[in-house]
Amino acid sequence: MYSLRICGITDDEGEPEDDDEEDDDDEEEDDDEEVDEEEVEEEEEEEEEEEEEEEESSGNKLSTPASAPRPPDVSSFLSFPSPDKLLKLGDKRAFLIEQQVDVTDGTKTAEAFLKIASVYKEENKDVKNAVLDSIDTLLKKAFATPSFQGYSFVSSLLVLLGLIKSEDKVKPVLVVPGHLHALEHVVRQDYFPKENVAVLEAFMSR
C-alpha cells in the first residue's frame, strides 16, 4: 500500500514538468505564429502600397494628354506671317503683339506693321478686323511712348516699301495690297500725327 502511494505521488509530481514543457512549446508556437502573422501583415501592406503606387502612376499616365501641336506664338507669326496664325493667336492677339514689339524703336515698329498688314484680306472679315485691330493697338502704344520717334517710323516705312533709298542698303519688302489698305486706315486715325500723314501722302502719291 505504501509503495503504491509513493508511485502515485511520483507520477503526480512528474506531470507538472510535462505541463511546463508543453506550455513552453505552446508559447514558442504562439510566438512563431505572431511573428508569421506580423510578417504576413507587413507583406500585405507592402503589396497594397505597391498597388497604390502603380495605380497612381498609371493614373498619371492616363491623365497626361498626348502631345498636342502647340498653337502659334507671336514670334512665329512675325517671322512667317499668315492669316491663320494671326487668328489662332486668339482674342488677345493685339495685346500679345504689342508686348512683343519694341515700340521705342521706329524701325522695328515699321517692320512689325508691314508684317501684320501683309496678311490683310478685304474679303475675309475676321482677318481684316484682326489686322486692323492689331495695327491700331501697336501704333497707339508707339505714338503714346515719349521715346518713340514718329519720323523714324515713317522713314523706315518708306524705305521698306521701296519709296526711298537707304544708306544701310535695306532690302524692300514685296508690296502687297494689304500694306496700302493698312496705311489708308491708319492715316485716318486720331493717334496718327498729322505731320506724319503729310509725309506719307507726299511719297505715296508719286
Half-sphere CA count of 20, side-chain side, radius 13 A: 5
Q: Are residues 87 and 185 in the same domain?
A: yes
Q: By three-state DSSP, how is residue 10 classified?
A: helix
* Residue 151: predicted pLDDT: 92
How does the average pLDDT of the chain come out, rounded?
79
Number of domains in the chain: 2
pLDDT, tens digit, 9 for 90 and up, residues 124-139: 999 999 999 999 999 9
- Whether residues 127 and 30 share a domain: the answer is no
Residues 133, 49, single domain; the answer is no
Q: Who has greater pLDDT, 29 or 147? A: 147
Whether the pLDDT of residue 106 is over 80: the answer is: yes
- Measured distance CA(142)–CA(149) in Å, rounded: 9
Check whether 92 has a pLDDT greater than 80.
yes
For residues 20 and 147, which has the higher predicted lDDT (pLDDT)?
A: 147
pLDDT at 203: 83
Flag whether pLDDT at 10 surpasses 50: no
Q: What angle do CA 151, 80, 100 make, to 5 degrees?
A: 55
Grade residue 54 by pLDDT with cuts at 50, 70 and 90.
low
Query: In this predicted structure, what is the pLDDT of residue 65?
Result: 44
* pLDDT (tens digit per residue) in 144-186: 999 999 999 999 999 999 998 887 778 889 999 999 999 999 9
Q: pLDDT at residue 13 above 80?
A: no
In this structure, the answer to whether residues 89 and 60 fall within a common structural domain is no
Are residue 153 and residue 115 in the same domain, yes or no? yes
Which grid coordinates are listed for 74? 507671336
Minimum mean pLDDT range among 6-20, 78-92, 163-177:
6-20
Domain that holds residue 120: 74-204
* 3-class state of residue 114 by DSSP: helix
What is the pLDDT at residue 204?
A: 77
Domain end marker among 68, 97, 120:
68
CATH code of 102's domain: 1.25.40.200
Letter for the amino acid at 87? L
- Rounded to two decimals, the pTM is 0.65
pLDDT value, residue 130:
98
